[in-house]
Amino acid sequence: MPSQFRITSLALWILLAPLAWGESRTLTIIHTNDLHGHIQQTEEFAGAARIAALVDQARATQPGVLVLDAGDSISGTPVSTLFKGVPIFAILNRVGYNAGALGNHEFDHGFRQIALFRDTAGYPLINANVTTRDGTLLADDTSLVMQVNGIRIAIIGILTDQTPQLITPIGNAGLEFQSPETQLRARVDSLDPFVDLVLVLSHVGHEEEKRLAAAINNIDVIIGGHSHTRVSPAVKINDTYVVQAGFYGSHVGYLELTVDTQQQKLLNFAGQLIAAKDLPPPDPFVAGLVASWEQAVADIVDVEIYRSERDYSREELQPIIEAILASYTGADFGFYNKGGIRDRIRSGLLSIRHLWNLEPFGNSLVTVTALGADIRSLLSMEGEQHWRLSTLNDDQIYTVATNSFVAAQVSKASPELFKIEDSGQLVRDVLVEHISSHGLPVD
C-alpha cells in the first residue's frame, strides 16, 4: 500500500478518537462505476475531463468531498487494451479519486498487473474478499478509514465471488475469492463502532447489493457496480441506501449527506445521477492528458472501414459475429458469449475503433470440437439459452467457432472432453477483415 495511505496505530487512534466538536456536518460523494476505459468524451459518455470538472467544481464549493469508483475501470477501449489498463488509472488519478474498488476486469491482464494499477493510481484500491492462496491481499487494503470535513468514514471494498467464471485463467491461477457477505459483515462489525459513516464500494451487482443491504446492519451507503445498473432514485433498504451510476460514464452519481458526528448517525441523504450531457465543460488539463493517450492509438484504430445503414444492438450482433467466425474457420457454427460483446454498432461511418470497443479483450478465435452433449455446456455459458441447443445431437461431433475466453472456461472443468485449436487470429481482426470486405447484413 502506498505510504500516504498507510495508517499507523497511533494515527488510527487519533483519527477514531471522539470529536469534541461533534455536530451535524455535510459530505458530498461523487461516484462512478464500470468506466471500462472510456476516458474520452463522446456524445453518450462523459469522459474523464468532464468528471474532473465536476470534482473540481464540488471541491471549490463544498466543505467535504469524496470521489469513489466501484470497479471495472479498465477494458473496453483501444487505449485501455493496448496499454493493459495503465493509462486509465493514470488519468483517474488526475481526476481526483479518493478510493476505488477492484472489479473483475481488473484481472484481464493477470492479477500481477494489479500491483502496477495500484502504483499508477495514486489513490488506494481496496478489496476485502480476494487474496492469493497464502492470504496476500491483491488490493492496497481491505478497507480505508479517513476523515473528511470532520466526519469519520470507513470504506470497504468487495468483489463478486463469481469472478473466477468471468476472467481468463491465464495469469490468474492461485487466487481465493471469499464470500463477499462474510468478509463485509466482519469488517462492518469491527469498524462501525468507531466511525460516523460506513460506505461500501461494491462490485457484485445491483440485485446482490440490495440483498446485502437487507442482510447486514450498520451500512449507510452501498456504492455499486458490475451490473451496469442506472439506479435512480437511490434504493433504501432498512437504513442502507444503494446506488449505482450505469456504465461507461453515461451518468455520474452525486450524493449529499448530512451526518451527526456526536450520534454517529446519517441524518439526511439526497442522491441523483447526472447525465454526461449535463456535466460541466471538460477540465483542460485532464482533457489534454486524455488526448495524448488517445493519439497514441489513433493511427491504428481511427480508420474507417464501412458505412452502416442502421444501428445494431448487442443482441443483434451476437448471431452476426457467430456467423463470421464460423465462416472464417469452416466450423459447423459459431458461438459468442453475450457478455463478450461490449458495445453496439451505430448508423454511420464505422471505424476499427468501434470494433475494438465491441471486442476490447484481445481474445483469439478458436475452434472447440466435442460431442453434442458436451457442446451443450459451452452453449449454456452464462445462463444463456442459445438457439442451437435444440438442434444438437448428443452423440454427434461438432466443431464450434468461438473466442479463447469461452474455450478456456469450458475446458477448465473437463479438458479431456474438448479439442481446442487456436487460429492465431484475434477476433477483432477477423471482424475488421470481414466487415471491410463484406459489410453487415442489412435485413
Per-residue pLDDT tens for 61-93?
Answer: 999 999 999 999 999 999 999 999 999 999 999
Shared-domain flag, residues 289 and 314: no
Model confidence at 7, in pLDDT bands (50, 70, 90)? very low
Q: Looking at the domain assignment, is residue 200 inside a domain?
A: yes
CB 174 within 8 A of CB 131: no
Shared-domain flag, residues 56 and 86: yes
* Beta-sheet pairing, 397-403 with 125-126: unpaired
233 cis-preceded (ω within 30 degrees of 0): yes
Q: Looking at the domain assignment, is residue 443 inside a domain?
A: no
Cα(67)–Cα(48) distance, rounded to whole angstroms? 13
Q: Which residues contact residue 406 at a Cβ distance below 8 angstroms, ignoring those fewer than 6 apart?
A: 335, 336, 337, 340, 368, 378, 381
pLDDT value, residue 443: 74
The predicted-structure confidence for 240-288, as pLDDT tens digits, reads as follows: 999 999 999 999 999 999 999 999 999 999 999 999 999 999 999 999 9
CA atoms in the 13 A half-sphere facing the CB of 87: 26
Shared-domain flag, residues 73 and 187: yes
Shared-domain flag, residues 122 and 199: yes
Asked which of 259, 294, 329 is the last residue of a domain, the reply is: 294
Shared-domain flag, residues 223 and 312: no
Q: Is the pLDDT of residue 181 over 50?
A: yes
The predicted-structure confidence for 108-159, as pLDDT tens digits, reads as follows: 999 999 999 999 999 999 999 999 999 999 999 999 999 999 999 999 999 9
Shared-domain flag, residues 409 and 285: no
Model confidence at 8, in pLDDT bands (50, 70, 90)? very low
Model confidence at 410, in pLDDT bands (50, 70, 90)? confident
pLDDT value, residue 409: 86
Cα(123)–Cα(318) distance, rounded to whole angstroms? 38
Question: What is the CATH number for 87?
Answer: 3.60.21.10
Q: Which residues contact residue 281 at a Cβ distance below 8 angstroms, ignoring those fewer than 6 apart?
A: 50, 53
Q: What cell numbers appear for 255 in the block?
A: 450524493
Q: Looking at the domain assignment, is residue 170 inside a domain?
A: yes
H/E stretch holding 118 reads helix 113-121
pLDDT value, residue 23: 82
pLDDT value, residue 197: 98
Model confidence at 9, in pLDDT bands (50, 70, 90)? very low
Shared-domain flag, residues 319 and 289: no
Asked which of 268, 294, 320 is the last residue of a domain, the reply is: 294
- How much is the mean pLDDT over the chain? 93
Model confidence at 6, in pLDDT bands (50, 70, 90)? very low
Cα(16)–Cα(146) distance, rounded to whole angstroms? 9
CB 405 within 8 A of CB 337: yes
Query: In total, how many domains does the chain have?
Result: 2
Cα(418)–Cα(36) distance, rounded to whole angstroms? 32
Beta bridge partners of 152: 147
Q: Which residues contact residue 270 at a Cβ distance below 8 angstroms, ignoring those fewer than 6 apart?
A: 255, 256, 257
Q: Is the pLDDT of residue 438 over 90?
A: yes
CA distances from 146 to 1, 7, 194, 271 (A): 15, 9, 11, 22
* Sheet with strand 143-148: strands edge to edge: 143-148, 151-159, 197-203, 221-223, 240-243, 235-237
Q: Is the pLDDT of residue 18 over 60?
A: no
Give the dihedral sign, CA 384/388/391/396.
Answer: negative
Q: Is the pLDDT of residue 15 over 90?
A: no
* Arithmetic mean of pLDDT, 313-335: 96
Residue 17 or 321, more confident: 321
By C-alpha distance, which of 380, 362, 370, 375 is closest to 420?
370
* Beta-sheet pairing, 304-308 with 348-351: antiparallel
The predicted-structure confidence for 25-56, as pLDDT tens digits, reads as follows: 999 999 999 999 999 999 999 999 999 999 99
Q: What cell numbers appear for 355 in the block?
A: 470494433
Shared-domain flag, residues 273 and 315: no
SS3 153: strand
Shared-domain flag, residues 363 and 286: no
Shared-domain flag, residues 267 and 290: yes
pLDDT value, residue 257: 98
By C-alpha distance, which of 182, 159, 51 is closest to 105?
159
CB 80 within 8 A of CB 360: yes
pLDDT value, residue 386: 84
Model confidence at 388, in pLDDT bands (50, 70, 90)? confident
Q: Is the pLDDT of residue 324 over 50?
A: yes
Residue 342 or 6, more confident: 342
Question: What is the CATH number for 313?
Answer: 3.90.780.10
In DSSP notation, 142-209 reads SEEEEEETTEEEEEEEEE-TTGGGTS-STT-TTEEE--HHHHHHHHHHHHGGG-SEEEEEEES-HHHH
Lowest mean pLDDT among 180-194, 252-266, 273-287, 402-416: 402-416
Asked which of 294, 311, 343 is the last residue of a domain, the reply is: 294
Q: What cell numbers appear for 70 in the block?
A: 466501484
CB 308 within 8 A of CB 345: yes
What's this model's pTM, rounded to 2 decimal places? 0.88
Q: What cell numbers appear for 290 in the block?
A: 486524455
Shared-domain flag, residues 424 and 327: yes
Q: Looking at the domain assignment, is residue 347 inside a domain?
A: yes
Q: Which residues contact residue 435 at a Cβ distance below 8 angstroms, ignoring those fewer than 6 apart?
A: 305, 306, 350, 355
Model confidence at 12, in pLDDT bands (50, 70, 90)? low
Q: Looking at the domain assignment, is residue 397 inside a domain?
A: yes
Residue with cell 459475429: 321
Model confidence at 22, in pLDDT bands (50, 70, 90)? low
Domain that holds residue 219: 3-294
Shared-domain flag, residues 75 and 165: yes
